[in-house]
Chains A and B, each alone.
Chain A
Amino acid sequence: MMAEVLNLATTPPAVPDHTAFRDFAGRLLAVARAATAIGASRRLAIGPLDLTLRAADAGLLAAFTHGLADRPAAGPGPRQALTIHLLAGPARIGATGEQPPPPAWPLPSSEHQHLRRLHLTADLRLYAWNDGAVWQLHDPTSATAVYWARDLAAIPEWDYGAPLRNLLAWALHDAGRVLLHGAVVGDAAGALLVAGAGGAGKSSTTLAALRHAGLTTVGDDFVALTGDGMAEALFDTVKLDPGALRRLAVPDAWVANPGRPAGEKARLHLDDWLPEALVARLPVKALAVPCIVARPDSGFRPAAPGVLLRALAPSSLFLVPGAERQRFAALAALTQRLPCVTLELGQEAAGVGRLVAAVLRGLRHDA
C-alpha cells in the first residue's frame, strides 16, 4: 500500500517539468509525515521560528537538538512555525510498511557529476546531497520540512555542527532574516560580527572573548541577521582546530566529537559548558576580519569595507543556497553602514578576549 503512496523512483519525464518536482516532493513529504507520526518530538524556539522536530529515531532527534540554540528571540515580525521531519534509513510506517530512503535524484538532469542537486522556487525548496545520501525539502506553504539521510553514517559532521542549516536558512528568509557565515560576539550594548573563511579565527576569537572578557555570543559560524542589524542565535556549537584548542586550553571533556575523522574540527556545545554565554540576540555595531599574527599580543586597525565584504559575502552565499542576490545586497548594505576593523590576533588567548572588549568599548566611546 505504501508503495503507492511513495513511488519515489519514478521514471523521469523526458524534459524538465516542474510538475514532476512538485509531485516528487509531495510524496516525499507524505512518507516522512507518516514515518514520524509515532516517534519522538521536541519543540524549540530558534530565532523567530517555533520549531517542532519529529523523528522516528530518538537518537537522531537528540543529536540535532543538541546543536540548536533553543532561545526565543523577540524580533521584528510574527513568530513562524516550522515542523521538520527527521529520518535516517528506511521509513517504517505502521507494523509492516517500509520505504527505502529516497533514491538518487530521480528527476531530469543533464549533469551527473555533481554531488548536489537543487531545485528552488518560491513555494518549494528541494535539495539532495551526495547523490541522494541526504535529502532536504522545505514546503513553506505547509510550514513543513523533511531531512532524510540514507543512514546515520551518511550524515556529514557539519550537519551536527549546524543542524538543518539549509532548511533553517530558507525558513528564516521567509521571516525576513539573512543567514550569514560569521561569528557575533559582544553584549547587549553592541557586538562585533567577525567574518572570514573557515580557519580564519572566528571561533577562537569568540571563545577567547567568552572566557577571558565575559562577553556573550549568538554563534561562531552561522547566525541570522534581521533587517535592523540584530544578530540571532541558531546553533550552540563552537568548532576549533587543534591549534586553537591548545591556545585556548580547552578541557578535553568539552569536545563533543573526540573520535572525529582526521581534519575535522573539534566541536563544543556552549549549552553544555558555558550556557550563559549563548544569548538569543545581539546588536551588531561593527564588522571585523581576523588576522592571526605570530606575536603574543593582539591589536586592531581600521579596515576597508570592501575587505569585510570579501570576507563575509562569498562563503555566506556559497555555503547556503538560495536568494543569493538578496543576501548579497543585505550584506553589502551592512558593510557600507558599519565601522570595519582588522583584528590582529596574537598567540595569547586572554589578549584576544581583551582586544574584543576594547574594540567594543571604543565603539561606544566614539558613538
Chain B
Amino acid sequence: MAALQVNAPTVVAEVFDIEVVVIHLERGTYYSLTGAACQLWRLLGCGLDASGIAQQLAALGPDWAGSASEIAAFLSALEAEELVCAGDATGSAPALATVPYQPPRLEKFTDMEELIALDPVHDVSAAEGWPLRTPLGPDSP
C-alpha cells in the first residue's frame, strides 16, 4: 500500500491538543477531527501506509491495540473526502503522547460551499498562476 500524506496544497490543517482543524480550499468544506484523529494526523507524511499508521497507534497502549479496523475505516473516510492522499513523502514518525484511546471522529461543515460554488475557473497554466495557491508575493506575514 502507498504511504499516506496530507493532500497539500489543496488542504490546510492545524493540529491542536484535542482537535485537528482541516480546510479543503477547493471545495469550501472544513472539518473538525477529534479523538484518535489527533494522533493519527501527526503520522501523515511520514512514509507510513494505512497499516503502518495503525501499527504505530496500536503501540500507544492496550486500549489502542484493538483500534486497527476503526483507524483503517477512518483513513478511508479521510481519503474519500480528499483530505489525505497517497504520496511519496518520507520522514520519521514523531513521538506521540500516550493518551487514552477515543474513537476518531470527523465532523464536516459545508456552510462555506456556496461561496466556492461561485468560484474560479481553473484555466490557467500551472506554471503561471491559478489554480496554484502560491503566495501573492514574498512570504508575509
Residues of chain A having any CB pair with chain B under 8 Å? 16-18, 21, 105, 107-111, 114-122, 124-125, 140, 170, 173-174, 176-178, 197, 225-227, 304-306, 309-310, 313-315, 317-319, 321-326, 328-330, 332, 335-336
Contact = CB atoms under 8 A, between A and B. Distances in A.
Contact of A325 (B30, B122, B133): B133
Chain B interface category by residue count = 35 or more
B124 A119 contact: yes
A225 B141 CA distance: 9
19 contacts: A21-B129, A109-B123, A114-B121, A117-B120, A118-B121, A118-B130, A119-B124, A177-B140, A227-B140, A306-B19, A306-B32, A309-B16, A310-B32, A313-B23, A314-B23, A314-B109, A322-B136, A326-B140, A332-B21
A16 B131 CA distance: 12
A22 to B, nearest CB: 9
A17 B127 CA distance: 10
B80 interface: no
B135 A328 contact: no
Interface stretch (B49-57, B71-79, B111-119): B111-119
Contact of B21 (A109, A124, A310): A310
B28 interface: yes
A325 B12 contact: yes
Contact of A326 (B32, B120, B135): B135
B103 to A, nearest CB: 18
B56 to A, nearest CB: 23
What DSSP secondary structure best describes chain A's contact surface?
mixed
Nearest to A312: B21
A324 B141 CA distance: 12
Given A309-B21, A328-B23, 18 more contacts: A21-B129, A108-B123, A111-B123, A114-B119, A114-B121, A118-B121, A120-B136, A121-B134, A305-B16, A306-B20, A310-B30, A321-B119, A321-B120, A322-B136, A323-B133, A325-B25, A326-B135, A332-B21
Interface in B27-74: 28, 30, 32
Contact of B129 (A109, A115, A120, A197): A120
Nearest to B12: A328
A246 B83 CA distance: 43
Contact of A110 (B16, B123, B128): B123
B76 to A, nearest CB: 23
Contact of A335 (B14, B118, B119, B133): B14
Contact of B136 (A107, A170, A226, A318): A170
Contacts of B89: none
Nearest to B124: A16
B14 A117 contact: no
Given A315-B112, A328-B12, A328-B23, A121 B120 contact: no
